[in-house]
Amino acid sequence: DARVTQTPRHKVTEMGQEVTMRCQPILGHNTVFWYRQTMMQGLELLAYFRNRAPLDDSGMPKDRFSAEMPDATLATLKIQPSEPRDSAVYFCASGLSALAETQYFGPGTRLLVL
């Protein structure tokens, strides 16, 4: 069955290093979302793409985070430089529309920045 895939599933890195997380949306989906889950804040929306164009990245720290969709089958989230407070689980979700019920989440990337 169709699923959103994310790589890597786990990442441990040192402060200051660049981190790249990848997401393959479900084929045919035209909306992609990046979320961050922390214990204190729950799930927060970082960025939102439709037809590969960024529509909203207001939830993303602009100085160190960047999100792109080089093509329809790949979305990336980069952190440079990474900091310990970036430690969280990062989820990608894709959908056929902006309706929340139509989103499918990937399994997440668990990031630990030492």
Partner 1 sequence: DQQVKQNSPSLSVQEGRISILNCDYTNSMFDYFLWYKKYPAEGPTFLISISSIKDKNEDGRFTVFLNKSAKHLSLHIVPSQPGDSAVYFCAASVTGTASKLTFGTGTRLQVTL
Q: Which residues bind partner 1 (CB under 8 A)?
A: 4, 31, 33, 39-45, 48, 55-56, 91, 93, 95, 98-108
The sign of the torsion formed by the CA atoms of 105, 107, 109, 110 equals positive
Question: What length is written for the chain?
Answer: 114
CA–CA gap between residue 57 and residue 76 (Å, rounded): 13
- In the complex with partner 1, the residue whose CB is nearer, 9 or 18, is 9
Provide the token pair at 67: 């999100």
Closest separation in Å from C-beta 67 to partner 1: 13
Specify the residue, 79 or 95, whose C-beta has the smaller distance to partner 1. Answer: 95
For partner 1, the closer CB: 10 or 17? 10
State in angstroms the smallest separation of the CB of 64 from partner 1: 22
